[in-house]
Amino acid sequence: MVISGCSGGGKSTLLAELEARGYAVVEEPGRRIVKEELAADGPALPWVDGAAFAGRAMAVALADRVAARRLSGWVFFDRGLIDAAAALQHLTREPALDGIGPLHRYHRRVFFTPPWPEIYATDADRHHDLDAAIAEYDRLLSAYPSLGYEVIVLPKVGVSERADFILHTLMNSPRSGRY
């Protein structure tokens, strides 16, 4: 189950809430890559070499999907393969999204955190401003449906209510995959 959407929209906080409730979660590939690259003084950082960063994020997301097969129950991903492919396609103009086929499907429903200026903040891993985050959100809002996903935009409510909303939606819909 992918939770995507706008940078700074509360995805990581929401994933922490779902994990506290006992669900398996997978940390955002981008944040893990940034930590590794900063520690090694590497170049695959979004503000240094965005294409290298996005390519690495695709590889990490694929590995995450393989690793998630060992987990039971719902598995929640903080972003995923489509986010990385959309970024790579935007940066290189190469059709990175075209290579994502049925073998790499997540659950048909994807939850999006909308732009939320009141909580948006930059940090050591997020250097871009809100306008760049909204542009990315708009690209993802097109990319997911173009691949057959149903996007459900989360309400701007507290983290507990957001988690309740996701779980209620999932429990009251036909299952089409764990993640």
pLDDT value of residue 55: 95
Q: Residue 118 belongs to what domain range?
A: 2-171
Q: How many folded domains does the chain comprise?
A: 1
In a domain, 176, yes or no: no
Reported confidence tier of residue 15, pLDDT bands at 50, 70, 90: very high
Q: How far apart are CA 127 and CA 151, in angstroms?
A: 26
State yes or no: pLDDT of 177 exceeds 60: no
What's the pLDDT score for residue 172? 86
Instruction: Yes or no: say if 42 and 152 are a contact pair by the CB < 8 Å rule.
Output: no
177 is a domain residue: no
What's the predicted TM-score (pTM) here? 0.90
For 139, list phi and psi in degrees, rounded to 5: -65, -45
CA 39, CA 141: separation in Å to the nearest integer? Answer: 33
**pLDDT for 81-126, tens place per residue?**
999 999 999 999 999 999 887 888 999 999 999 988 777 677 666 6
Q: What is the pLDDT, as a whole number, of residue 119?
A: 77
CATH of the domain at 91: 3.40.50.300
Q: Tell me, what's the pLDDT at 133?
A: 87
Q: What pLDDT, on a 0 to 100 scale, did the predictor assign at position 130?
A: 84
